[in-house]
């Protein structure tokens, strides 16, 4: 079990005791932990393991520590001002923790020179001090994996950065966020709605190191000087300390456009069909309830997107093009729709104007996202929202006389409609 796995990991066993192990006797490993069940575990994790056989220490240094129970945690999370910190833990306890949560643990021994190992240990010792250990967490640009990447690059004198910067990957931050989360879950919908164009910019291999498993893969390809005028692989060897029993992660995100489009068409058809029968009191009320609820939901989401842009540090949510389709003014539109439906004597003029405005802004957003310089990958969101905006607009543009039909009028209306159809057939 754990002891056997660690025995493999500690293959470079002991050398003669001394008060201070020479750097050449110290081994450095990158530990990569696979995804887990919790949302914050979906992206994997990593740590730097320093094996010191002389002093008998095996410490895994981890930059992903946070405290759910810290005062004001929810507020700092919402505002994007979460402080994470680094801390070292015994390797056996670290492996046991991930094994208990059915998360794989892989290690790569790194070919650091004595000077590079000493530099890494010196930096970690500095970083571990109470005054230096905390940092402002960012999901994509400054997380537990980028901190590990940067620490290794510092020790390597920039060799890792030189090898990875500018290397095209064909991916984006949104690509990985959707790939590594559960398909069609609320989290994926939140990613589609809440992330802005920053997450759709192409990222290179250096930036893609925010995913621990990608950093692990890239290290296999990096070569470093061998001290004799040539180069050698940075990774000396690899081992698996624990293999989790869980499905593999997806290579690409799930297809979302078609399911979102079908859902959008279904909602739009319901609105259109109930709107087509607004001469009937029951359908008129049903349309009013559905259109009001839809507009309230869209407007409320628009307010959230504005808040994320102007009042938080979530850079990935800034300038979100979904504001074209989830317009905060839809909240006012919801009120006007309710007035139009339930107080028809006021007339549909204001409702028509707002319907044209909301649908027009959404169409403008569609047009802008076709242009490369404005592009945000939000086709799925547009497919979900645009049919309903169109259905409400069409209904209000052909709104019937303001006075709703009474029960007697309704029967007469139905009878006349049937008679007219029958007369048409006789003709």
Q: What is the pLDDT of residues 326-364, one digit of tens each?
A: 999 999 999 999 998 888 677 788 999 999 999 999 999
Quick: pLDDT tens for 299-325.
999 999 999 999 999 999 999 999 999
- 29 Cβ contact list (under 8 Å, min separation 6): 9, 48, 49, 50, 51, 107, 108, 109, 110
Show the tokens assigned to 240. Answer: 């698996």
Statement to judge: residues 151 and 276 lie in one domain? no
* pLDDT at res. 11: 39
Statement to judge: residues 84 and 204 lie in one domain? yes
CB 48 within 8 A of CB 28: yes
Our count of domains for the chain comes to 2
Statement to judge: residues 352 and 271 lie in one domain? yes
Statement to judge: residues 400 and 360 lie in one domain? yes
Q: Judge whether 247 lies within some domain.
A: no
Instruction: In whole angstroms, give the CA distance from residue 329 to residue 256.
Output: 27
Measure CA of the first residue to CA of the last residue in the chain; give whole Å: 87
- Candidates 263, 244, 227; CA nearest to 100 is 244
CB 123 within 8 A of CB 147: no
Q: Judge whether 171 lies within some domain.
A: yes
Q: Among the residues of 128-164, which ranges form H helices?
A: 144-155, 159-164
pTM of the model: 0.86
Report the percent of the chain where pLDDT is more than 90. 75
Q: E strand or H helix at 264, and its extent?
A: helix 257-276
Sign of the alpha-carbon torsion through 350, 319, 181, 98: negative
Beta strand 105-110 pairing with 27-33 = antiparallel
Statement to judge: residues 339 and 409 lie in one domain? yes
**Which structural domain range is residue 336 located in?**
257-420
- Candidates 221, 198, 197, 225; CA nearest to 209 is 221
Question: Where does the pLDDT of residue 32 fall: very low under 50, low under 70, confident under 90, or very high at 90 and above?
Answer: very high
């Amino acid at each position: 079990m754990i002891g056997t796995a660690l025995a493999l990991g500690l293959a470079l066993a002991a050398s003669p005791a001394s008060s201070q192990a020479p750097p050449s006797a110290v081994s450095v490993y990158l530990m990569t932990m696979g995804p887990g069940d919790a949302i914050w575990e979906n992206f994997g994790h990593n740590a730097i393991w320093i094996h010191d056989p002389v002093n008998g220490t095996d410490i895994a240094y981890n930059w992903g520590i946070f405290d759910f129970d810290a005062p004001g945690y929810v507020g700092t999370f919402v505002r994007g001002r979460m402080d994470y910190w680094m801390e070292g833990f015994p390797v056996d306890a670290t492996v046991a923790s991930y094994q208990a949560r059915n998360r794989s643990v892989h290690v790569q021994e790194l070919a650091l020179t004595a000077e590079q190992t000493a530099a890494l240990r010196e930096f970690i010792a500095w970083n571990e001090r109470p005054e230096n250990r905390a940092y402002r967490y960012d999901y994509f640009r400054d997380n537990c994996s980028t901190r590990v990447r940067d620490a290794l690059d510092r020790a390597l004198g920039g060799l890792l950065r030189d090898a990875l910067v500018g290397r095209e990957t064909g991916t984006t931050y949104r690509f990985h966020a959707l790939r590594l989360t559960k398909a069609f879950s609320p989290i994926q919908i939140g990613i589609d709605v809440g992330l802005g164009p920053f997450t759709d910019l192409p990222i290179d291999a250096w930036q893609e190191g925010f995913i621990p498993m990608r950093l692990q893969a890239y290290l296999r390809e990096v070569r470093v000087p061998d001290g004799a005028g040539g180069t050698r692989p940075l990774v000396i060897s690899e081992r698996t300390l624990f293999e989790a029993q869980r499905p593999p992660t997806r290579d690409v995100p799930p297809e979302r456009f078609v399911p979102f489009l079908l859902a959008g068409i279904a909602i739009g058809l319901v609105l259109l069909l109930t709107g087509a029968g607004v001469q009937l009191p029951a359908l008129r009320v049903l349309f009013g309830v559905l259109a009001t609820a839809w507009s309230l939901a869209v407007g409320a989401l628009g307010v959230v997107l504005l808040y994320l842009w102007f009042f938080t540090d979530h850079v990935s949510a800034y300038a979100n093009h979904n504001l074209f389709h989830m317009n905060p003014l839809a909240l006012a539109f919801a009120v006007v729709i309710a007035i139009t439906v339930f107080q028809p004597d006021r007339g549909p003029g204001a409702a028509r104007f707002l319907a044209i405005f909301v649908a027009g802004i959404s169409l403008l957003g569609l047009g802008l996202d076709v242009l490369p310089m404005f592009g945000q990958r939000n086709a799925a969101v547009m497919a979900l929202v645009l049919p309903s905006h169109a259905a409400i607009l069409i209904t209000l543009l052909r709104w019937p006389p303001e006075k709703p039909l009474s029960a007697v009028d309704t029967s007469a209306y139905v009878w006349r409609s049937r008679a007219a159809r029958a007369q048409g057939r006789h003709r």
